[in-house]
Structures are given as C-alpha cells and as structure tokens.
C-alpha cells in the first residue's frame, strides 16, 4: 500500500514517502521500534487506513520507493560490504568529534548520554547500510538516523534564531545557562530531529543537506536547513596534536556498543578477515 495513518479511527491518511513519514511520526515510538525485531534492528510502523491494523513501512531507508504491508514478524537482512563497515568503524573512532561538529551545526549541547542514545539509534537502524551513507557524511547521517529527542534542560548555544523561536512561540524559557526550562504548571513537549536528506548536483558541486526541525506540542515551530561541510569534517578527524581534548570515556562506551553490534549481526569475523 502507498498510504498510512498514525492511529486507529483517525480519518487523515498520508502518502508513504520517507520525508512525510519522518515529519508525521516525528521519529518517535511506536512508529520507530527496535523491540519488535529478533535482532534489535530498527523497524518502522504505522496504521492501515483501510482496516485500522498495524502495517510495517518497508524500504524506508533504501533510497527507493517505500511501501506498507500488514505487519507480520519477519527478519530482514541487508547486504554488508567493506565500505559500510569502514563507515561504522570511523564513526565509533571519531564519535566525540562527530558530536562536536553537530553541536556547531545545530547549536545544541549534546551530552555524552545523548550521544550514546543517538549511537544506539544509529546501530538499531543499521544506518551504515543506507544507500547514501559515506565516509564523508558520517556526522550528519549519525544525526539523521537518530530518533527525536527532548530539548528540555539542554543548552542552546550559538543558535540565536532557535532561542528567539522558543521564547516567542512557546510557553517555555531559557535559564541563565541557556537551558530550556518550563516554569509553568502546564504540560509541554519540545523535541528536535533531523529529516529530509537531500542529495543534488549544483554548479558542478555535490551538495547534501538535512532539515533540522524543532516541534512544540506536536507543532513544528522551527526549521533550519543544514548543508554538509564534508571538508571541515575531513580536516577535523585528521587533526594532530589535540589528543588531550578527546573524550575517551565516550569513545570507550561507543566501542563497547560497536563490538556488541558486530557480535549480534555476526560481523566480527568479517571485520577481522577484511583487515
């Protein structure tokens, strides 16, 4: 099928496209769910507009037209090659620098806990197998495949437009440390995510971008287009003499998750045999 909806008895239905699915679900559970998989792989779900039963969205990340089918528990396997494993390994080895670059792009402080949560999302999605993942766009694919995350108590730095939007379009405010807080007794939900991966050629240049979205109480209030600065990333990971600035505790935890992931998907021997 080519349409989906978000809940039983809901009238509105939407075409199944990668961008629409991400925007409507805001990349939240239960639409993004790894617990229904035998191997911990992220899968994508919605509701059939005709019969109100669950459907699984197939091929959402394959770079081809996705579609829905009534949910039936199966195990989906993707092809692994040396490039995909190199992408995964480089992400793990450079995770602290990936986080640093993302913080500069979106203007939000990413804590170690959030970075690990995002890495777990990335591994569950097996995002290194995504058609457009490369060794050059690792930071942005890492963010793209993360689920939505709360903005409460996160520090917003060097993003004055986002600060103004939160102050003027929500009931929330920022404290003296630029952390987002709720000083009212009303429930509020403020989340952020990245969507709409675009790849194009323009003036003989290869350009990739994402939309950075902030949503308040289910309404999108902020959008920022982020173009990938792949040269900056390349320069960053090849820097010498700044080992004292690395976050080795974060890298240690990331490596533990990486090794567990290799074991879960029987990739460890593949890595050894191809190195």
**Please, are residues 16 and 67 in contact by the beta-carbon 8 Å criterion?**
yes
Nearest to 91 by CA among 59, 129, 62, 35: 129
- Average pLDDT of span 235-256: 93
- Average pLDDT of span 157-182: 96
Residue 148 has pLDDT above 90, yes or no: yes
Q: What is the mean pLDDT of the chain?
A: 89
| Helix, strand, coil percentages for the chain (3-state, nearest 5) | 35, 25, 40
**Tokens 């289910």 found at:** 218
What's the pLDDT at 204? 58
What's the pLDDT at 168? 96
What's the pLDDT at 76? 34
Q: Which two tokens stand for residue 208?
A: 């990739």
**Please, are residues 6 and 68 in contact by the beta-carbon 8 Å criterion?**
no
pLDDT-derived band at 98, boundaries 50, 70, 90: very high
Nearest to 184 by CA among 216, 218, 156, 158: 216
**Please, are residues 171 and 186 in contact by the beta-carbon 8 Å criterion?**
yes
Please tell me which residue, 39 or 159, carries the higher pLDDT value: 159
* Whole-prediction pTM: 0.76
Say how many CA atoms lie within 13 Å of 34 toward its Cβ.
15
Q: Distance between CA atoms of 120 and 99, rounded to whole angstroms?
A: 14
């Amino acid at each position: 099928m080519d349409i989906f909806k978000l809940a039983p008895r809901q009238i509105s239905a939407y075409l199944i496209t990668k961008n629409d699915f991400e925007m409507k679900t805001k990349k939240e559970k239960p639409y993004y769910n790894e617990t229904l998989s035998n191997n911990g792989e992220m899968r994508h779900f919605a509701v059939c507009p005709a019969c109100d039963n669950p459907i699984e969205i197939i091929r959402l990340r394959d770079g081809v037209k996705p579609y829905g089918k009534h949910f039936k528990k199966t195990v989906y396997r993707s092809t692994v090659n040396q490039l995909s494993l190199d992408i995964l390994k480089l992400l793990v080895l450079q995770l602290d620098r990936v986080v640093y670059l993302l913080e500069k792009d979106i203007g939000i402080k990413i804590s170690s806990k959030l970075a690990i949560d995002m890495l777990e999302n990335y591994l569950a999605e097996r995002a290194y197998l995504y058609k457009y993942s490369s060794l050059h766009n690792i930071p942005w694919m890492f963010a793209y495949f993360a689920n939505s995350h709360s903005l409460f108590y996160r520090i917003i730095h060097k993003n004055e437009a986002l600060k103004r939007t939160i102050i003027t379009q929500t009931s929330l405010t920022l404290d003296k440390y630029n952390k987002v807080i709720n000083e009212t007794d009303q429930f509020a939900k403020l989340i952020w995510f990245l969507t709409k991966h675009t790849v194009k050629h323009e003036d003989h240049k290869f350009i990739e971008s994402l939309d950075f979205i902030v949503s308040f109480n289910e309404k999108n209030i902020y959008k920022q287009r982020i173009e990938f600065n792949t040269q900056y990333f390349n320069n960053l990971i090849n820097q010498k003499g700044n080992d004292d600035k690395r976050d080795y505790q974060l890298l240690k935890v990331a490596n533990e998750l990486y090794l567990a992931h290799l074991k879960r998907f029987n990739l460890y021997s593949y890595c050894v045999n191809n190195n």
